[in-house]
Amino acid sequence: MKIKYICIPLLLLFPVLHAGAGLHVTSLKTDYKTNPIGIDNLAPGLSWILQSDRMNTMQESYEIRAALDVRDLERGRNLLWESGRVHSPQSIHVPYEGPTLQSFQRVYWQVRIRDNHGDRSGWSEIASWEMGVLETGQWEAEWISPLLEEDTTRSMPSPYLRKEFSLNSGIRQARLYISCHGLYQAEINGQRVGDQEFTPGWTSYHHRVQYQTYDVKELLNDRENAIGIILGDGWYRGNLAWRDNRNIWGTRLSAIAQLHVWYDNGSMEVIGTDNSWKASSGPILKSDIYNGETYDASLELAGWSNPGYDDREWVKTETMEISRGKLIAPEGPPVRIIEELTPVSIEKAGDDSWLVDMGQNMVGWVRISASGEKGDTITLRHAEVLDREGNIYYDNLRSAEATNRYCLKGDGTEVFEPHFTFQGFRYVMVSGYPGTLHKDHIRGMVIHSDMEPAGTFACSDTLINQLQHNIVWGLKGNFLDVPTDCPQRDERLGWTGDAQVFAPTACFNMHAATFYKKWLKDLAADQREDGMIHHVIPDVLGGGGATGWADAGVVIPWVVFKNYADTMVLADQYESMKKWIGYMEEHAGEDLVWDGDSHFGDWLSFDASRSDYMGAYTVKDLIATAYYSYSSGLVARVSEILGKDAESVYYRELSERVESAFRDEFVTPNARLVSHTQTAYTLALAFELLDGEAEQLAALHLENDVREFGHITTGFLGTPLISLTLTDHGMLDLAYMLVNRKEYPSWLYPVTMGATTIWERWDGQKPDSTFQDPGMNSFNHYAYGAIGKWLYQVVAGIGIDPGHPGYKHVIIHPRPGGGLTRAEASHESMYGTISSGWELDEDRLTMEVEVPANTTASIHIKGEPDHIFMNGTLLDESGIDYRVMEGKVVAETGSGRYRITTTTD
C-alpha cells in the first residue's frame, strides 16, 4: 500500500502553539443582545465567547462582576454582584443572580475566565444592560387618541400628535418609552427618534403590546423642546387577512409615550402623553400594509415636531381607557432598513412610465427622488415577476394594491419613502415621473428583523449557491417581526406550519433565537383554552388545530433549544406545549389515531400528472397521527430537561402508544403505508415510528418511489424532511439526485427560471413561462427553503448534537457527493465560529474544520486511520482520540483549526 503524503508546512496552517497563549473573553451579550436598553427580564442570561490561540481550550471557571456605576466596576468597588469564581464550563445564558433590579437601572458587567490550560484572561471589556418600565404604575403617561374625524371603513390620513415642553440644562440621560395601537414614528425637535421600522411591532395585541426604549439625549435641547408622533393603521386596524378585513384589534389609533429626563443634579422629570397633546392630519393621506401609501408633500407640516410650531389649528386628543398592563419590553430584534439596492435596469415602458428592475425579489420599499411641479404625482406599483411577454405581472398579489403615490410640492429635489407600508417586489412600474428616471433616483430599501447573520454556505455548483442565496432572501423577506408565509399578496401572515418547517434552516443562517422567542409568546397568548393553536400568529383567522401547523408550538421551542441551548424557551413554552398535546389527546380519542378534523396535510404536494398515478396525496389521518407521536415525544424530552420526571414518563408513554397505534392503523406487515407516498414514508422514518425490519422495508419503499419518479413529490410537510431521511437511511445518492435535478419539480427548477427567492410552488412559473393559479402563487415563500438545513448539515457537515445543544459538542460530518468537488459552511454559534469545508481532488479529500473554544467536536472523516492526516500528522500520531466505524473515522477533538487530508492508495 502506498500512501501519498501531502506536505503542508504546519506554520502556514495554524496559529503557533506557545505557552502563555492569549486568552480573551469577547462578544458579551445580555439575553442575546449587545448592551440592550429597556429590557424587562429580571434575571437576564449573560453570554460570552472565549478567544484563545491554543487548541483544545475549555473554560474551567468564570467570574462575573457587576456594578451600577461604570467607574465602580472599573475600580472593582461598590459592586452590585460578584459571582465569585464558579468552576463551570458554562459561558452562555449564565443568569444574573444579584439583587433584584429596579426599573431604569443600568447594570455594567464584565467577566474573566480561566481555562483548562491554567491560563487566565483579564477582565473583559465592560458590557451593560438597562431595565425598562417594570411596573405598570410607573407608566405615568396616558394612552391618547386624536379627536380627528374618522371613517373606519377605509384608510384615513395618518394622525400627527405633538407636544412642546421645556427642560432644564444639565441633562445626564434621557429615554423615551413609547408604544401605540397601530404603528408609530416619533420625532423630537425635527429629528427622527431611532432607526426602527414598524414599531411597536406585531404581537397578540389584546394581550401583549411592545413598547420601545430609545436613548434620546442627543435629540434634546436645554429649554424649549417638542416631541411628535405619527400614527399609521398597520396590522392593528389596517387591511389584514384578505376578505376586506379591517380593524381586527380595534378601530381607534392611540399612543402612549413618556420621556424620562435625568439631570446631573440627581433630579428627573417625566413628560408623558396626556390630553394636552394636540393632533392634526398631514401629508400621509392613506397608508396600508397591503395597499401602499399616498403622500401629498404639499400638505407637509413643516417644523411640526420643532418647538415654536404654530399648532393653533390642531385639534385635541383624548385619553383612552387602555390597560398599561399589557405593555411589554420587546424580546426580539427590531425591524430596520438593512441594506439598499440599486436597480439593475430602468426601461421606458410607455409614454409615461418606467419599468425598474431591482435585480432581486426584495421586501421593503423604494426611496425615490424627483423634482417637478407642485401636484405632479408619481405612482409606484410593485410586482415580483414579469410574464412571458415581459409585462409586469400583478395578478398573484390578489387584492393587494401594492402602490405608493407621491404628490410633489414643487420645491427642488424631493425625496420620498413610505412610512407604514412595505411591499414584496423585484419590479416597480413608475408612472408620472417628472423627467427622465435614472438609477440614482431610485434605491430599494430592504427591511427585515435585524438579526445578526449567522451562517454562510457555498459549494462548487453555482446553481446550488443561487439556491442558498434564494433561501437567505426568502428568510430576509419573511422575517418582519413575525415569521410570515409571504410578503407581497393580501396575506403576509404568521403561518405556523411554514415557520415550523423553516426554523432549523433559519437558525443556520441568522441568529433567530429572540425572534422566535417573542413570537412563541404570542402563540401561547393566542392559544385557545382547550389547547388549540391557531393557524396564524398573531391570530387573525380564528381557525387552528392543524397538524404540522399547530405543532409549531412544540417543534420551534425545541429547535431554538437545540440551536442555542436555551432552556428558558422550554420553560416559557412548556404549558403551551402541554396544552397542545392535550388538544390532540382530546381529538384523537382513545384509539390514539387522530382521524377527522380539518388539516392542511402535505400542502402543495406534487399533483398527479400520470394516468397510472393517483398523485402524491398523503392521507391526513396518517400525518396527524405521526405528528401526534412526534410532538408528544418532544414534550417528553422537554419535561426531562426541565426536571419534570413524572410528566416525562407520561409523554414518553403517550408517544409510544401513539406510535404503536400508527403502526396498527397505517402500516401493513410488509411496511407499506396506506399512503404510498414519499411524504408518508419520510414522516414515518424521520419521526422514528418504525423499527427493525419495518424501518428497512419502509426505507426501501421510499427509495423505490424516489427512483421511479426521479423527483420529489412532497409538499410542505414532507419536503423539509425527505433529504435528511434519505441520507440517514443510506440513500445519499438519491438525496443528491433530488437536489441536483433542474427540471420541475425540484429546488433548482426555479433557479433555472431566474428565481432570486424561494417560490411557494414548485412550478410558480411553468417551463413555458406561464404562471400557476394567481390565487396562490407567491414568489417569496420560504417553506421549501427548508432544504437549507440539509445543505449545512449534510453537504458541508455542520450538525448539532442534541445531547449537547447549542453546539457545545459539534458534529462535523460532511458527506461529499452529487458531483460536487467542494463545499464549505460556517456558523456563528453562541460559542463562536464553527466552520467545515471540504475539497475533492481526484481521490484526495481535504477538510478544513474550525471548532470554537469551549466546545468539542466529533469529526467524521471518510477513510482509514492510516490514510488520514490531521494538521500534517498521521492521525495515529496526532494524539487525537478516534473511533473507526463503517469506512470512516470519527475523531474526537477539542477546539482549534484542523486541516485534514485523506488519501487512498
- Catalytically active residues are 491, 760
Cα–Cα distance for residue pair 54/119, rounded to 1 Å: 10
Q: Specify which residues 829 forms β-bridges with.
A: 832
Cα–Cα distance for residue pair 867/902, rounded to 1 Å: 5
The cell for 785 is 427553503
Q: Is 159 or 715 the residue whose CB approaches ligand BGC more closely?
A: 715
- Residues 640, 646, 650: CA angle, nearest 5 degrees: 90
For the chain, what is the radius of gyration of the CA atoms? Answer: 29
Least distance to ligand BGC from the beta carbon of 447, Å?
Answer: 20
The cell for 567 is 432552556
Q: Is 164 or 760 the residue whose CB approaches ligand BGC more closely?
A: 760
The cell for 132 is 425598562
Least distance to ligand BGC from the beta carbon of 508, Å?
Answer: 21
Q: Is 294 or 777 the residue whose CB approaches ligand BGC more closely?
A: 777
Q: Is 239 or 836 the residue whose CB approaches ligand BGC more closely?
A: 239
Q: Where are the beta strands (DSSP E) in 218-253?
A: 223-232
Least distance to ligand BGC from the beta carbon of 716, Å?
Answer: 6
Q: Is 376 or 485 the residue whose CB approaches ligand BGC more closely?
A: 485
Interface ranges with ligand BGC (CB under 6 A): 485-486, 491, 495, 497-498, 600, 603, 781
In this structure, which amino acid lies at residue 442?
I
Least distance to ligand BGC from the beta carbon of 614, Å?
Answer: 21
Q: Of 864, 860, 857, 892, which is closest to residue 878 (Cα–Cα)? A: 892
Q: Of 239, 90, 119, 127, which is closest to residue 565 (Cα–Cα)? A: 90
Say if residues 335 and 217 touch (Cβ distance below 8 Å): no
Q: Where are the beta strands (DSSP E) in 202-283?
A: 209-210, 212-215, 223-232, 254-263, 268-272, 278-281
Q: Of 496, 543, 490, which is closest to residue 243 (Cα–Cα)? A: 490
Least distance to ligand BGC from the beta carbon of 424, Å?
Answer: 12
Cα–Cα distance for residue pair 338/321, rounded to 1 Å: 37
Say if residues 753 and 765 touch (Cβ distance below 8 Å): yes
In this structure, which amino acid lies at residue 579?
K
Cα–Cα distance for residue pair 12/9, rounded to 1 Å: 6
Q: Is 485 or 850 the residue whose CB approaches ligand BGC more closely?
A: 485
Q: Of 556, 555, 551, which is closest to residue 512 (Cα–Cα)? A: 556
Q: Specify which residues 162 forms β-bridges with.
A: 228, 278
Least distance to ligand BGC from the beta carbon of 486, Å?
Answer: 6
Cα–Cα distance for residue pair 635/574, rounded to 1 Å: 8
Element of type H or E holding 810:
strand 809-812
Under 8 Å CB-to-CB from 297, ≥6 apart: which residues? 283, 406, 407, 408, 409, 411, 414, 416
Q: Specify which residues 406 forms β-bridges with.
A: 295, 378
Say if residues 792 and 825 touch (Cβ distance below 8 Å): yes
Q: How many CB atoms lie within 10 A of CB 413?
A: 9
The cell for 164 is 412642546
Cα–Cα distance for residue pair 582/801, rounded to 1 Å: 29
Tell me, what DSSP letter sits at residue 642?
A: T
Tell me, what DSSP letter sits at residue 453?
A: B
Least distance to ligand BGC from the beta carbon of 546, Å?
Answer: 8
Say if residues 159 and 231 touch (Cβ distance below 8 Å): yes
Least distance to ligand BGC from the beta carbon of 391, Å?
Answer: 25
Q: How many CB atoms lie within 10 A of CB 536?
A: 27
Cα–Cα distance for residue pair 103/82, rounded to 1 Å: 21
In this structure, which amino acid lies at residue 157?
P
